Amino acid sequence: VNYRYGSPENMFDGHSYPKGGRVLHMLRFELGDEMFWRAMRHYAEVNQFRNVETANLRIAIEDATGHGMNWFFDQWLYHGGHPEFTVDWAWDGAAKDVRVTVKQTQKVDETTPLFRTAAEIEIALPGETLIKRIQITRPEETFHFQVNERPTRVCFDPADWILKKLTFPKSKEELIDQMTRDSHVVCRVQAVRGLTEQREDPQVSAALLKVARNDSFWAVRLEAVRLVGKLNGDEARAALLAIAKGDAKSSVRREALVGLANFSHDDTRALVRQAIASDPSYFVVAEALRCLMKIDRDNARDALLAALDQPSESEVILSAACDGLVELKDATAARRVAKVLEETLPPQRRAALLGALARLKPGDAEILQRLHAQLDSKRREVRRAAIDSVVALGDASSVAVLQARRGKEVSPRGVRAIDEALEKLRDRQKNGAPLQSEIEALRRRNDELELRLKTLENRSDSK
């Protein structure tokens, strides 16, 4: 909680909302469902039609539950940071004892405290799974649990109640068991990530292929597909082809296409073209265009040009097509983009096309000027698209234009975007100015030679 801000918009950033939600989630875990919802109802009733701040929530919770919550609000809202846990476990067969050691390893200072929190430990046995609740209050604590046989796995905070960073080293066998058998999604995701360095192991790769195809939750499949995409061989390619074609979740199909960019085969090229033509997800189509550039670059031009006419959310398809055409350095592409710009277009689409045209014809002052004009658009998304295009182009003259725009920009996010763009442009000038000058000179010379060649061809035709 911070009462110092330059603009009210600063209080509604990408940090406030996610952490606010996580703090409420942890509060529910600490209180339990019955008391949590009783407290929420009381808070809404006593504060209806009133302005509130953080203290009002704490007081309402204490009134409704009888529990003092100063400690909770102090560590999670009035201090910064989060706990960083290092956890390990060991089995004592003689004593039938599972020993779990939990360490808090974050740097404790005026900003970040030593945290006090409840936590759950999952102990999976061959015949059952136990959930044990513990209280963490010290830098290092060891907990003992009596069970009849050695666990197949132990998971810390399996339901992911706590905002934290977790380090929990495990064997290959335990990670495979956790990835394939645990009922908690977060545990399965953690297990997939934990197997990254062992993905080439035959036992691991076989399990990853199975999870990538069959896990019930899309986020687990996504993580597994990400690792399968780094494998070699026909089995991995076949799995990626099946997933890119048939997975119900577009983000998983998209990740499969990322992996297929490493497999330049006829069936891969055919599936990628099919995705471009018929996948219902704009983001999958955009990824398929990028994939096509990697596995069939020489034959990608027509698909890229056709994609220029396809509208999509945030112009993701257009951006992918333009990136590919810029990479091909096809002179006819610049003429096609210029022709599309003659049509009546939505502002964001126009800004993206201008950015592409500026990269296709670097050094063209008129195009760059038209792109700079988009920085003054009344639409924030157009200004953002123009800023991104200016950075991608990297022309030194854009620095002064962005500085002038900064003085007019009223949105704090817009100001940040401009500042980041200026920093990138200045870094690029510092690191690549001499080389860029040589490149521009070569491009101008190439344009002159093309013009001379066309003139000679016209003279020859007239004879």
- Residues 68 and 137 reside in one and the same domain: no
What is the pLDDT, as a whole number, of residue 459? 66
What is the pLDDT, as a whole number, of residue 449? 75
Confidence label for 438 from pLDDT (cuts 50, 70 and 90): low
Last residue within a domain, chosen from 76, 97, 131: 76
User: Each residue of 319-357: pLDDT tens digit?
Assistant: 999 999 989 987 778 888 888 888 888 888 888 888 888
Inform me whether the pLDDT recorded for 149 exceeds 80. Answer: yes
- Residues 41 and 71 reside in one and the same domain: yes
What is the pLDDT, as a whole number, of residue 10? 67
Asked whether residue 250 is assigned to any structural domain, the reply reads: no
What is the pLDDT, as a whole number, of residue 441? 65
- Token look-up 């992911």 returns 160
Minimum mean pLDDT range among 31-40, 55-64, 132-141, 421-430: 421-430
Most confident of 203-212, 384-393, 422-431: 203-212
Three-class secondary structure assignment of the chain: CCCCCCCHHHHCCCCHHHHHHHHHHHHHHHHCHHHHHHHHHHHHHHCCCCCCCHHHHHHHHHHHHCCCCHHHHHHHCCCCCCCEEEEEEEEECCCCEEEEEEEECCCCCCCCCCCCEEEEEEEECCCCEEEEEEEECCCEEEEEEECCCCCCEEEECCCCCCCCEEECCCCHHHHHHHHHHCCCHHHHHHHHHHCHHHCCCHHHHHHHHHHHHHCCCHHHHHHHHHHHCCCCCHHHHHHHHHHHHHCCCHHHHHHHHHHHCCCCCHHHHHHHHHHHHHCCCHHHHHHHHHHHHHHCHHHCHHHHHHHCCCCCHHHHHHHHHHHHHHHHCCHHHHHHHHHHHCCCCCHHHHHHHHHHHHHHCCCCHHHHHHHHHHHHCCCHHHHHHHHHHHHHHCCCCHHHHHHHHHHHCCCHHHHHHHHHHHHHHHHHHHHHHHHHHHHHHHHHHHHHHHHHHHHHHHHHHHC
Inform me whether the pLDDT recorded for 448 exceeds 80. Answer: no
User: Each residue of 293-312: pLDDT tens digit?
Assistant: 999 999 999 999 999 989 99
User: Each residue of 257-284: pLDDT tens digit?
Assistant: 999 999 999 999 999 999 999 999 999 9
Cβ atoms < 10 Å from Cβ of 354: 25
Torsion sign, CA atoms 449, 455, 461, 463:
negative
Asked whether residue 91 is assigned to any structural domain, the reply reads: yes
Asked whether residue 367 is assigned to any structural domain, the reply reads: yes
Total domains present in the chain: 3
- Token look-up 């096809």 returns 330
pTM of this prediction? 0.83
Report d(CA 324, CA 316) in Å as an integer: 12
Higher pLDDT, 154 or 7: 154
The CATH number given to whatever domain includes residue 132 is 2.60.40.1840
Last residue within a domain, chosen from 23, 48, 76: 76
What is the pLDDT, as a whole number, of residue 382? 84
What is the pLDDT, as a whole number, of residue 402? 94
What is the pLDDT, as a whole number, of residue 162? 98
Asked whether residue 88 is assigned to any structural domain, the reply reads: yes
- Residues 446 and 415 reside in one and the same domain: yes
Please state the rounded mean pLDDT for residues 33-50. Answer: 96
Residue-range definition of the domain harbouring residue 40: 8-76
- Residues 38 and 95 reside in one and the same domain: no
- Residues 31 and 69 reside in one and the same domain: yes
Quote the mean pLDDT of the chain.
91
- Residues 374 and 428 reside in one and the same domain: yes
Percent with pLDDT over 90 in the chain: 69
